[in-house]
Structure 1
């Protein structure tokens, strides 16, 4: 099984291109800075910079909504490849082909409804008492 789940921040706006041909396909490339787990000494171990590519509707989504610095979670698959560079050397590539994008933070400037804003002290959301009536299960 080839399944990858990543959460990180975009290092820059996605680079978007469209394929040529009768039906142009959107191809969005971007890099995610993914923090490594902290060590036992609590030292900052740095980050990995993962190349991601999204095709079609997912590429159009990236073009429209993803911007530098945004924190996103993606699922996808690892794809490797190679090509011959202009100087004749073989270049090997590793990308994550994006299957899903998900925002991990609210947009800057967007206010959440009052009943779902986190409290200042404990960081948990206020949940209304009558929420049980809205849940689709018991």
Structure 2
């Protein structure tokens, strides 16, 4: 939370991964109340760095590999054969 407060501003793009937890409790008057908490475990700042004008390259998570680039460009719809049976 401290890093987010220091480096993010309103409108900044950010990816947050975590979980939602709902709790039930009684208030001081004995009424049942519910509280929903959002617990962020991982945060990745997205978009351009302030003042650089270049998009920020997201870092790969531990154990994740970047996908290999395509060997050849994808074909166009006109390249498909017309022998589809339906």
Q: Give the shorter-chain TM-score range.
A: 0.3 to 0.5
Q: By percentage of residues, which structure has more strand? A: 1
Larger radius of gyration between Structure 1 and Structure 2: 2
TM, length-normalised to structure 1: 0.32
